[in-house]
């Protein structure tokens, strides 16, 4: 998003059998998000696509992710990314300075 540091970003991540639909925290300047985002993990952003929190990412700053099987229609990953952005952008925006 405009005005966000480069260390905060949404990303498609390529795994062997899955596509990761992810939001990364890669700077201590945004470490506050490491406590704000975990509570939304566990919710399904789409049927069968639960949102996960990975606290180990980037020196324990964390990331949100949804894994979509590569056997699924590519539009599933695109829809998951749109849902991830819709669910998190306002929360992220409110908690970065």
Per-residue pLDDT of the chain (97 residues; tens, 9 = 90+): 567 877 899 999 999 999 999 999 998 888 899 999 999 999 998 888 999 999 999 999 999 999 999 999 999 999 999 999 999 999 999 998 6
pTM of the predicted model, to two decimals?
0.91
3-state secondary structure of 34: helix
The Cα–Cα gap between 19 and 30 comes to: 25
The Cα–Cα gap between 80 and 66 comes to: 7
The Cα–Cα gap between 33 and 63 comes to: 9
């Amino acid at each position: 998003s405009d005005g966000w540091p480069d260390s905060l970003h949404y990303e498609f991540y390529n795994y062997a059998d899955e596509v990761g639909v992810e939001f990364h925290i890669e700077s201590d300047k945004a470490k506050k998000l490491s406590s704000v985002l975990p509570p939304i993990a566990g919710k399904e952003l789409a049927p069968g696509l639960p949102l996960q929190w990975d606290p180990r990412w980037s020196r324990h700053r964390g990331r949100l992710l949804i894994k979509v099987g590569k056997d699924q229609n590519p539009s599933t990953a695109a829809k998951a990314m749109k849902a991830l952005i819709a669910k998190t952008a306002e929360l992220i925006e409110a908690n970065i300075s």
